[in-house]
Structure 1
Amino acid sequence: MNPQDTPKQLWSPSNDFINQTNLSDYLKWLKSYKELSFSNYHELWKWSTDHIDQFWETVWQYFNIQGGEYSSVVSGAKMPSYKWFEGAQVNYAEHIFLSYSEDIPAIISKKEGQPAEETSWSELKIKVTQVQQLLKQWGVQAGDRVVAYVPNCLEATVAFLAVNSLGAIWSSCSPDFGLSSIIDRFEQVKPKVLIGVDGYSYGGKKFDKTSIITSIQKALPSLEHTLLIPYINADISSLDNYYSWNDLPSADNKTLDFHRVPFNDSIWILYSSGTTGAPKAITHSQGGILLEHYKYVSFHQNVRPGDRCFWYTTTGWMMWNYIQSALLCRGTIVLYDGSPAWPTVDALWQMADELRINHFGTSAGYIVANMKEGKKPGIEHNLSSLISIGSTGSPLPPEGFDYVYEHIKHDVWLTSMSGGTDVCSAFVGGVPTLPVYEGEIQARALGCHLLAYNENGEPVTNEEGEMVITQPMPSMPIFFWNDEQHERYKASYFEMYSDVWRHGDWIKITPRHGIIIYGRSDATLNRGGVRIGTSEIYRAVDQITEIQDSLVVCIETKSGDFYMPLFVKMQKDQPLTPELISKVKKTIRESYSPRHVPDEVIAINEIPYTISGKKTETPVKKVLMGKDIKQAMNKDALKNPDAMNFFINLAKELEVG
């Protein structure tokens, strides 16, 4: 390899840092108790994926999982029919409360524009016990579904732990979801209980949601009870058939009980974005999530007792479920409800300063937005407590990596990661014992046999290909709700390659065992047989300060030609001039190749995003190709559904489908 092929190294852990990591402690444990030694992380990763039964059993033993006896670690002929730890019975919430210290808070919660509040471990236990008592009175048992229409607040975590403690199944949506989007999700699972709020705040405004609560109640005939959280003190006189959070039963002389369920029983139901069809009700197992979260949060995020862990998320995104797991490692979770950019774009960095956050999680989009605004959080805020910055949601461009080290913190550990709702964790992400290279995710996660396949279905290195997983992971879905024959499940992951999970990302595994993600493979720009990752276009456009955001698609016309428009949202008061269009095309051409240059650059008012913050490239492509709007997407699954109107009108003009 030529020296110029190696990207810039931006961070490297010191020996002291490495020696104090949870991962190093695990390696010492493997050597002492299993007589296994590995000279580096990549050897450990290979063993963990070559011997998945041995690896996951060591995870069980290292974290002292309370679950009784099991007949085997893993059994089954092929994915997705594997079963894990059959015979064992576990409870996620039980492990959170196994041991804790009153010297550190369990939760720090903050509402937009209001001071933060700390909740001690004993206070958390009392609150969970109170909700558990109410659920018991309502007859909630293992397997019952409890749905929540709540923001990222203390009450949401309390409610989840109470539901889980009984072995019941949790499912949540955030209050910014549209009504039909909520119903599309909750009606699939026939819930017994609804937990909701009267409203929420965002961007300095309050949004009354009492009418939505009534509509949800009417739309779900299975509902027997509603627990209402008076979150913004809205007028609730129009509501009936509800129990107020303020009237929870006393926890005096009550113990917090934990009902263990079989390892492969359901813990929660998450949902796909639902932009191109009915949302898939992705169901995970109690034990699979427990093991995966212990592994990832401890070994890959390196959360240690007392660490303050934050991720900007809503209850409608899997990162909310993920961040709860910091409690397993005795970390303190920081919950924030509100806009990340109010009153200014650097609001989250201000919070990191005020609350002395150690592990700060956000989206690549938020980092890029701060970069384009010229913010310098490292100068404007005291970020001395920051140990790591996590980035996910979309690929972080190399310039984003540089920005973090130049303008946020020069000695921070940047952990770009990628996974999904599908496993409620990451396939690839941070490793505290490895260096960080510009533009690369550090490594594949332990126990995740991830490869890149070329068009012939052959594994390749240092070459772009389809991301696949060839060995099962415990946190893969046990099924999709109401998909008894696993037809939707198999179609989602196993249609392209037999017995191999195809995730739908276009990636490269580098000679350093790092990973570069180029975007969703179903949104990959296929121009005349040459495949182009959308992230490459976005990286080039992000260099142009006049442009705030962009979206690109490539369409094959009836005549066999290719039409690749680039849609741009301009910065305030910036026009899209012919000179700027030339600049855009020149920047893309010089950064990549002539094939990357769009056929047209079009200014639009908004880029459509899903509620979880992802660009809707595939629905836009389908709409522009003339697909019926109802088949191409569900507008109610978007954060800004009106943004699609432009593309609907443009499709009528193009008629390329």
Structure 2
Amino acid sequence: MSRTAPSAPEPIWLPDPAEAADSRLARFTDFVAARTGTAHADYRSLHAWSVEDLPGFWSAVGDFFALRTTGAWDRVVDDTPMPGTRWFSGARLNYAEHALRSGEPDDVALISADESGATAYLTWGELRSRVGALAGWLRRQGVTAGDRVVGYLPNSAHTVLAFLACASIGAIWSACGQDYGAEGAAGRFGQLEPVVLFAADGYRWNGKEHDRRAETAALREALPSVRVTVEVPVLGLSPAGYGDAGTVDWADALAEPADCVFEQLPFDAPLWVLFSSGTTGTPKGIVHGHGGVLFDHHKLLGLHLDLGPGDRFLWYTTPNWMMWNMIVSGLLMGAAPVLYDGSPAHPGPGRLWELAAAHRVTVLGVSPGYLQGSAKAGLEPGRDLDLSALRVLGCTGAPLPASSYHWVRDHVGPRVQVASTSGGTDIVSGFAGGAPTVPVWPGEMSAPLLGVALEAFDRDGRPVTGEVGELVVTRPMPSMPLRFWNDPDGTRYREAYFGAYPGVWRHGDWMTRTAHGSVIVSGRSDATLNRHGVRLGSADVYAVVDELPGIRESLVIGAELPDGDYWMPLFVVLEPGRALDDGLRDTIRAAIRTHASPRHVPDTVIEVPALPHTRTGKKLEVPVKRLLQGAAIDKVAGREAVDDFSALEYFTRFARA
């Protein structure tokens, strides 16, 4: 790679010495020193040990958090190269047992809020009781370990209860939100051949109630393996009754009390199946295991986010996205997840800040777009709301520009730590992010996460520092997928992550390891802007353009054309009342030339009415590029994978013109 990283900026946030010394990460560091006889003076030393001694590190995580295993195991990790590495062979455990073991019976365990303004609280006693009752009902339906149970549900307490009940008996869970139509949900669930379907009557979004009973009926018809459907009354609509195989009301499924009984499962027993976005074909079912998730989420939430009993944990998400799984794992730490079902901008752009204040949230997670939207709306959450409980602001989904770090400091609070994180559905965890003992630099992730052997590879497969390279992981992680669903010989799995560098995980992002230990992610490597041999991540362009007044958002692609030319257009969506005139075009070009790269000034700037995204908010750069190169729309993305398919269709018409 020829583009080098900028010189180190000054940190925008430094750990408070007393708070850092009292963090779980500091206590874990002392715990490691006591058991190994080697002290670690700083995070970089601890991280180096964590990837050099994988058995020592992961066994320390298990012992520090007192994770419960049964059965006999003599090796933490075997010597099989990735993929295929086995962890804690012989150990048996259960994710749900750990999720439900904390908390006094009358303490709040789960908070649910929605657009209607209603808020519901579940105590730890109620949570355990209802999970036990629902698990008992599932057992009476004949559901056993390995069976699949699916949820067509919004982000509500019902979804958490159904998942935990399944996990407690060893059934495999999968869910998607009801913004998917029946066809899109069936394209995922149909692969699993589920035996039980949980389906809500509808959901709320942007001030409207959406009745999904007809879609549920169509979904039920598309899933012949389903023996019974549980109707979940989110909107309070009349029961529908789905098919001759049987329909049960949610209240009836919970009617018979039962204690929680946790099946002791192999470490690599499947816990859930998450699905890829489906923008490059049929969504891939990604299978994760009880043990890998349990260990990794304790590390990420307990050590890096410092979550624990008494904390409130809100991350804006839906069941379509792995962050839903992550926020449920807040229960592992004894923290109370705050579930929000609705638009983050209804009834106004400050909705998430208001929820954080109302519920005394300590760790809040949002998207880069939400922070940029808050800034453009002129919000002053630190001034207008009581955010005194907030100590960590997580951010993921796309690279976070440096300007957003400054906005958080100036308009949310100078002691709020920005924990920008890079990870993914693939590992249902993170590669790089924050830590309570590490500074924060604007535009950067503070450090690789513990246990993650993260490197940037140049084009020859050599690790580089201070240069942009491919994001790779050179040693196994327990949360890497067990397999893809319906991939019996592992071919698709190997091709997805290990085709470029045998035995090394290639994630598909551009990344820089800085000299001061931080990580900069520059966007997807398959959407790289490669002009005249000089490569630039699209995120570098967005960090400049999306901050400009009048620009709502932008999308840039670099398309290789049949005649050998390279065309690099920039598409922009404007704020209402703005026009794309020569003056604004000149402003955009000058900003890119000055603040991103003079070699990546777009060939043309084009206004479009909207941009297409995945349902988790990622811009569809590669599908747009392929459309402009002449591909048919049905070859680049499935309708159900896109938040606004008409926005993608626009680019088909544009390409023809």
Normalised-by-shorter TM-score class: over 0.9
CA distance in 2, matches of 1:300, 1:40: 14
Pick from 244, 247, 255: which aligns with 1:250?
A: 255
Pick from 530, 534, 549: which aligns with 2:534?
A: 530
1:35 matched to which residue of 2?
Answer: 37
1:652 matched to which residue of 2?
Answer: 656
1:306 matched to which residue of 2?
Answer: 310
1:569 matched to which residue of 2?
Answer: 573
One-letter code aligned to 2:382: G
| Aligned partners of 1:104 and 1:332 also within 8 Å | no
1:70 matched to which residue of 2?
Answer: 73
**1:101 paired to 2:104:** yes
Aligned pairs for 1:268-283 within 5 A = 268-283=272-287
CA distance in 1, matches of 2:247, 2:357: 39
CA distance in 1, matches of 2:311, 2:463: 39
2:582 matched to which residue of 1?
Answer: 578
CA distance in 1, matches of 2:479, 2:97: 18
| Aligned partners of 1:555 and 1:562 also within 8 Å | yes
Aligned pairs for 1:373-452 within 5 A = 373-452=377-456
Deviates more, 1:338-347 or 1:633-642: 633-642
| Aligned partners of 1:195 and 1:229 also within 8 Å | yes
Deviation at 1:97, TM superposition (A): 2.2
| Aligned partners of 1:49 and 1:448 also within 8 Å | yes
Deviates more, 1:524-533 or 1:285-294: 524-533
| Aligned partners of 1:109 and 1:335 also within 8 Å | yes
Question: For 1:412-463, what per-residue CA distance to the aligned partner results, in whole angstroms no more than 9, with x for missing partners?
Answer: 1110001000110111011100111111100001110000001111100011
Deviates more, 1:546-555 or 1:626-635: 626-635
Pick from 504, 511, 521: which aligns with 2:508?
A: 504
Long gaps (5+) in structure 1: none
Query: SS of the counterpart of 1:437?
Result: coil
2:133 matched to which residue of 1?
Answer: 130
Query: SS of the counterpart of 1:626?
Result: coil
1:80 matched to which residue of 2?
Answer: 83
One-letter code aligned to 1:276: T
Deviation at 1:628, TM superposition (A): 2.3
Deviation at 1:62, TM superposition (A): 1.6
| Aligned partners of 1:169 and 1:269 also within 8 Å | yes
Aligned pairs for 1:607-618 within 5 A = 607-618=611-622
One-letter code aligned to 2:110: I
CA distance in 1, matches of 2:92, 2:546: 49
CA distance in 2, matches of 1:427, 1:163: 28
Tell me how many residue pairs correspond in the alignment.
651
Deviation at 1:592, TM superposition (A): 2.5
2:172 matched to which residue of 1?
Answer: 169
1:195 matched to which residue of 2?
Answer: 198
TM-score for the superposition, normalised by structure 1: 0.97
Deviates more, 1:570-579 or 1:94-103: 94-103
One-letter code aligned to 1:27: T
Aligned pairs for 1:352-371 within 5 A = 352-371=356-375
2:647 matched to which residue of 1?
Answer: 643
One-letter code aligned to 2:90: G
Question: For 1:318-353, what per-residue CA distance to the aligned partner results, in whole angstroms no more than 9, with x for missing partners?
Answer: 000011111111111111100000011111101111
**1:204 paired to 2:207:** yes
1:89 matched to which residue of 2?
Answer: 92
Aligned pairs for 1:218-257 within 5 A = 218-237=221-240, 239-240=242-243, 241-252=246-257, 254-257=258-261
Query: SS of the counterpart of 1:314?
Result: coil
Query: SS of the counterpart of 1:433?
Result: coil
CA distance in 2, matches of 1:311, 1:405: 19
Deviation at 1:251, TM superposition (A): 4.4
1:23 matched to which residue of 2?
Answer: 25
Deviation at 1:634, TM superposition (A): 1.2
Deviation at 1:4, TM superposition (A): 8.7
| Aligned partners of 2:182 and 2:216 also within 8 Å | no
Deviation at 1:249, TM superposition (A): 4.1
**1:589 paired to 2:593:** yes
CA distance in 2, matches of 1:569, 1:235: 41
2:354 matched to which residue of 1?
Answer: 350
**1:215 paired to 2:218:** yes
Deviation at 1:652, TM superposition (A): 1.5
Pick from 444, 453, 459: which aligns with 2:457?
A: 453
CA distance in 1, matches of 2:578, 2:116: 30
Deviates more, 1:407-416 or 1:62-71: 62-71
One-letter code aligned to 1:209: R
Deviation at 1:235, TM superposition (A): 4.0
Aligned pairs for 1:619-634 within 5 A = 619-634=623-638
**1:287 paired to 2:284:** no
Deviation at 1:238, TM superposition (A): 6.3
1:10 matched to which residue of 2?
Answer: 12
Aligned pairs for 1:461-472 within 5 A = 461-472=465-476
1:479 matched to which residue of 2?
Answer: 483
Query: SS of the counterpart of 1:284?
Result: strand
Deviation at 1:504, TM superposition (A): 0.4
TM-score for the superposition, normalised by structure 2: 0.97
One-letter code aligned to 2:255: S
CA distance in 1, matches of 2:597, 2:102: 56
**1:140 paired to 2:143:** yes
Identity of aligned residues (%): 40
CA distance in 1, matches of 2:107, 2:319: 25
* RMSD between aligned residues: 1.5
Query: SS of the counterpart of 1:86?
Result: coil
One-letter code aligned to 1:246: A
CA distance in 1, matches of 2:254, 2:572: 54
Deviation at 1:559, TM superposition (A): 1.4
CA distance in 2, matches of 1:600, 1:356: 47
Query: SS of the counterpart of 1:465?
Result: strand
Deviates more, 1:81-90 or 1:23-32: 23-32
2:606 matched to which residue of 1?
Answer: 602
Query: SS of the counterpart of 1:106?
Result: strand
CA distance in 1, matches of 2:495, 2:628: 25
Cα separation, partners in 2 of 1:406 and 1:70, compared to 1, 3 Å: same
CA distance in 2, matches of 1:237, 1:175: 16
| Aligned partners of 1:126 and 1:251 also within 8 Å | no
